[in-house]
Structure 1
Amino acid sequence: MDAYLKDQFDFTGVKAALLVEQSILVILRDNKPAIPWPNMWELTGGGRECLETPLECLRREVWEELGLILKEKSIIWSRIYPSMLDKDRSAVFVVAQISQEQYQEIDFGDEGQEFKLMPIEDFIKAEGIIPQLQERFKDYLSEKEENNIWTNGRN
């Protein structure tokens, strides 16, 4: 896990691609015109509260939205990006793995209309998903592929 996930620094919030085998857990945002990206599919996460670290923010959001306790060892990748709502500030994007059993235990909160698993191939191509989240997940896939090439002895 990247050390900055436990650091205090100025960031707006955290979004997480939670992988369940070859799928991503997505949430359909509320259909309220006053919120950003109404009625679009997004990922778990949200805004920072008080002086939370990125890990604390992520764990709180996963608990509030899904009723799950996310363990540190579940996090497999993270990166700092410009915030989607304030380009002058930072936000954190995380990829983590949860089990099929954890998925079955979800207690969906009151943010969003529904949740589901979406195949990775669909997530990176489909319309109706917040585009910045698709691009950030593609960064993870590119880096993962590069690492596989290097660790498998090619190049």
Structure 2
Amino acid sequence: MSGEIDFHGAKVAFFINDHILVYRRDNKPDIPFPDMLDLPGGGRENGESGAECVARETFEEFGIRIAIDEFDHVQTYPNWRGSGAVALFFVCRLSAPILDEIVFGDEGQDWQTMPVVEFLASNNAVPHLQLRLQEYLKTRDLRH
């Protein structure tokens, strides 16, 4: 066990300059947020830490390995379903060349980088992740 609070999953906003890495979820009616823009991440496995969770999910979804110390845990939130363990939100800065290493996995339809402002304004993005990112950006702006 990692010694962290109990959490059900974690998401990460990967920043590449003023863009973020997103993927379009599968268009299946039996999954949450079908056909919407999502951030990398997913459910916790085997008592892993939040950083271990997003590192594993990033590898599974995009085929790239990111060291766990590259992830900054910035927020803890209630479960978007309204009950259950909390969710963690991370940020990580990447350099553009890593995009050439992406091998997209079998979850989701496609991936892209998009300007942060476009993700925040999109009607096709997972709403609670837009809020998480917006809140993070506000706190970051207050520190600078």
TM-score category (smaller protein): over 0.9
Deviation, structure 1 residue 76: 4.1
- Structure 1: gaps of 5 or more residues: 1-5, 149-155
- Code of the aligned partner of 1:26: V
For structure 2, the 5+ residue unaligned runs are: none
Please, which of 118, 121, 124 is the counterpart of residue 120 of structure 2?
124
Task: Compare CA radii of gyration and give the structure with the larger one.
Answer: 1
Over 3 Å counting, the alpha-carbon distance change for 1:21 and 1:7 in structure 2 is farther
- Counting matched residue pairs gives 143
Fraction of identical pairs, as percent = 38
Quote the offset at 1:7 in angstroms: 3.6
Amino acid at match of 2:93: Q
Is the Cα–Cα contact under 8 Å of residues 7 and 54 in structure 1 kept in the other structure?
no
Find the partner of 1:42 among 28, 38, 42: 38
CA contact (8 A) 2:25 2:33 kept: yes
Q: What is the match of residue 83 of structure 2?
A: 87
Partners of 1:42 and 1:70 in 2: how far apart? 19
Aligned-pair distance for 1:9? 2.8
- Scaled by the length of structure 2, what TM-score is found? 0.93
Amino acid across the alignment from 1:57: C
Contact 1:74 1:98 in 2 (8 A): no
Q: State how far apart, in whole Å, the 1-side matches of 2:76 and 2:9 are.
A: 10
**Alignment correspondent of 1:151:** none
Distance 1:59 1:7 in 2: 18
Change (3 A) 1:73 1:49: closer
